[in-house]
Chains A and B, each alone.
Chain A
Amino acid sequence: MPRVSLTVNGKAVTADVESRTLLVQFLRENLRLTGTHVGCDTSQCGCCVVHVDGRAVKSCTILVQQAEGADVKTIESLAVGDTLHPMQEAFRQNHGLQCGFCTPGMIMTAVDLVARKGHDLDDKTIREELEGNLCRCTGYHNIVKSIAAGAKAMAATTTAQAAE
């Protein structure tokens, strides 16, 4: 079996895998990082979104071997100790989740969105950018609210960190 080496949530990992192993299978089954979910098989639901080298990708649509040498971040990496990431906190404050299944993908997508489009996100932009994330519970209303609030909170955190 081929060997693959990558960095996941800051830790170097190496494993022998079948060629057909998807990144999401590797995360869930080899590393037991089960926060990344699988909600479809056609790359549409976005439950499996993780960051590969700083960009949001659907981990169900990339072979783990394509991530050879890459820096992968999953939902489990966002909180620092007991301190939630501002986007996580925004989802909690704004009731941006119900069953929680799509939530890790939503949050990882949202963090990527802020990295690309900044901290001042309007309703239309957020809704367009959620093209690849399905939620069956919330009607998206509170997810959109959460992301707008989370984006602003991330700016405040960045500013605070810069001032330190």
Chain B
Amino acid sequence: MTNTIFNIAARETGRLLKGRIYWFCIFLVPCISCLFFLTMMHEGLPTDLPIAVVDLDNTAASRNLSRQLNAFEGTQIVAQYNDFSQAQTEMQQGHIYGIFYIPRNFTQETVAGKRPVLSFYTNNTYLIAGSLLFKDMKTVATLATGAVVLQTGRARGQRDEQLIAAVQPIAIETHPVGNPWLNYSVYLSNIILLGILTLMIMCVTVYSIGIEVKEKTIGEWLPSGNASILPALAGKLIPQTILFFIAGIGIFFSLYIFMHFPVHHIVNMLGALLLFIVASQALGVFMIGCFPTLRLALSFACLFGMFAFSITGFTFPVDAMYPPLQALSHLFPLRHYFLIYVDQALNERSFACSLPHYAALLAFLAAPLITLHHLTWSLKNVPYKR
């Protein structure tokens, strides 16, 4: 049996090396994706997001407020307007993401204790930009409050610590575990790149099996008679596993060595990568077993692969989805890989914490067995439909 597997693997390696489409899917796509996402989000946390100030007060104090806001790394004041509707039009056209509004007589009313209202408007159509600006503007408002309190309080002879405590009695010291820079690329690229890998694995698995029917080479690949097709499948898929593992290591290299993204248990992550690749291949075999025609199976692989990005919950958490979708998420290898990544790479948890997800990835190996019989039959009997 080892001999058969070896022979088929040798044949498959030849096919993989000759087919341009395989080179594209296995190496070029991960390369392009790494290049794209890692350079796209190179900044990590967007800086200098354009905002506008509507300063109706126009005093030294209000201008000082704008200057403080501008000094924040995340914010850049690109325009000053004397009227709010002008600023809103700019926002509508997407030139600015936020408006800082200082009302008329702001300084005067502050001193008089009339509690004027400082407003900030963010455009939450762009959620990332909107929430980042919100944070900066909120901080400036707190600082402004602090400045006024210090000024008036000192005049009354109160201690500075006392005054700070009056403005903000409880300070919050945040520890974003594993990603102290709040780097968006850390949280997006790690999963997007692997999601693209699983998409490509499923496509290539389905294609490399289905193409044998189209090219009428089933005879060369499958054993004749009633012999099991498992050795033939193994021989076909093992070279692909190796190539995809190399591609995966390339992705790891760019993430963890080139970009220095945080990773704690790298060995456990490599294990997860391998299981993740094999699980995706198993799903690919399952898909071509379900659907007799290559194009249909391929379409399904694509739909499934694209859906994985959303249901994995790395942007919008699974906990917040409807319960049936939460259950469905378990059927996606990317979901389990993501949870392992959170434990092993980000939070430095023990191997035992992620054990269920390693097991789940292994369990995907059983998926092809369900459709194996049908696959064998259809490979031998259903011709390629033109």
Q: Do A and B come from one complex?
A: no
List residues of B whose CB falls within 8 A of some A CB. none
